[in-house]
Amino acid sequence: MTHIYNFSAGPAVLPKEVLAQAAAEMLDWHGSGMSVMEMSHRGPEFMSIYKAAERDLRELLAVPDNYKILFMQGGGLSQNALIPLNLLGHKPEGATIDFIHTGSWSDKSIKEARKYANVNVAASSATQVPPQAEWRLTPGAAYLHMCTNETIGGVEYQPDFNDPRFKDLVLVADMSSHILSRRIDVAKYGVIFAGAQKNIGPAGVTIVIIRDDLLGRALPICPSAFDFKLVADNESMYNTPPTYGIYIAGLVFQWLKKQGGVAEMERRAIAKAELLYNALDASDFYETRVAPANRSRMNVPFYLKDESKNEAFLAGAKARGLLQLKGHKSVGGMRASIYNAMPIEGVQALVDYLNEFAGL
Ligand SMILES: Cc1ncc(COP(=O)(O)O)c(C=O)c1O
């Protein structure tokens, strides 16, 4: 059979070793006589799985002790409501939330936040992040929200923390599609959140990393099951967490540690992205639309200049085992998502096909 490489934006490719281990442990986890799916979330077996997952993620991202890691449900999108519901409790009516708008996901976050507070879009561009000096930040804003990797448009960036305006603000970052692919200084953020289904594990788990002093600020209408403080105080067991998803996430964290951790993932991500963007840039047959400085290392949208060849391109890709390359319906074209679990061989296979299809 042709080797399969899955370029889906998410749910996305997982390490084969992780899937093989999960398959081997499916019916009987470590001699317990139970599948992980059948375990009480409060029993010793699952608690050991949970604690190892939390510890490994903390180690991988060097999460400081004054931050809690929550394993929640609801996906990345629900955080757009849960963040204001959890952070605005201590703010007077009329609080403002600042946003950097860089594409579809920040768009959705902005729309949701308007239900809870005034919104100021401090900077906006879906192809190039405006220079930070031009960001019109609100003094005393409740927090600044940014999506540091726009999965659909392919814009990735990290703020410049030397900006003195960043000293006191609470920074909230949606890292759903690039968490664990690059080193970050968690201490610079108030809240980091990420849906699991790209670089972490199966859909259904949402990671929230939050600084301790931001807990306990929920609005009275915040649903209890989504009150970060209650979730933190109960080690993510206030209600039943997505146990099987946490187990798979834990296996992915172990796999990441074996591979060399986040620094090694970053090295690989740079190599894979360079390989792909160089091939796209070298050909007149394809185009990319994001400014080079903001090109995502994880999600690479590209277009055939002659869009009438799109279907033939996708059919040829599928025949070669290169799956799920169709771009998001809102932007069209193609998109190759090259997350941590995508080996460089997969990117090379895509580059070979890009060249072949372009007749190079
Ligand atoms: C950056 C980003 N934020 C939020 C979401 C929404 O996540 P979910 O579908 O888990 O709600 C996605 C999903 O693809 C995403 O890529």
The per-residue pLDDT for range 89-146, each reduced to its tens digit, is 987 788 999 999 999 999 999 999 999 999 999 999 999 999 999 999 999 999 999 9
Is pLDDT above 90 for 159?
yes
Supply the pLDDT for residue 92: 76
Q: State the closest ligand 1 atom to the C-alpha of 195, by its place in the atom list counted from 1.
A: 10
- Phi, psi at 45, each rounded to 5°: -65, -50
**Catalytic annotation on 198?**
yes
Spatial separation of the C-alpha atoms in residues 313 and 299, rounded to whole Å: 18
Structural tokens at position 60 = 């991988």
**Catalytic annotation on 188?**
no
- Could you give the C-alpha distances from 201 to 76, 197, 231, 249, 251, in angstroms and in order? 13, 5, 20, 5, 9
Structural tokens at position 344 = 């460089």
**Catalytic annotation on 272?**
no
Structural tokens at position 333 = 């074209």
- CA atoms within 13 A of residue 359's CA, in its CB half-sphere: 4
Whether 176 is in the pocket of ligand 1, judged by its Cβ within 6 Å, is yes
The per-residue pLDDT for range 200-224, each reduced to its tens digit, is 999 999 999 999 999 999 999 999 9
Supply the pLDDT for residue 360: 77
- Select which of 105, 107, 135, 326 is catalytic: 105
Tell me the average pLDDT across 293-310: 98
Residue closest by Cα to atom 4 of ligand 1: 76
Which residue do the tokens 């405006």 mark? 130
- Select which of 29, 174, 227, 326 is catalytic: 174
- Select which of 29, 98, 135, 198 is catalytic: 198
Question: What percentage of the chain carries pLDDT values higher than 70?
Answer: 100
Supply the pLDDT for residue 133: 96
Domains and CATH numbers, the chain: 17-258 (3.40.640.10), 261-357 (3.90.1150.10)
Distance 359 CA to ligand 1 centre (A): 36
Is pLDDT above 90 for 288?
yes
The per-residue pLDDT for range 325-360, each reduced to its tens digit, is 999 999 999 999 999 999 999 999 999 999 999 997
Spacing of C-alpha 189 from chain mean position: 15
Whether 103 is in the pocket of ligand 1, judged by its Cβ within 6 Å, is no
Q: Which residues is 146 bridged to in the sheet? A: 100, 173
The model's pTM is 0.98
Whether 199 is in the pocket of ligand 1, judged by its Cβ within 6 Å, is no
Supply the pLDDT for residue 1: 59
**Mean pLDDT taken over the chain:** 97
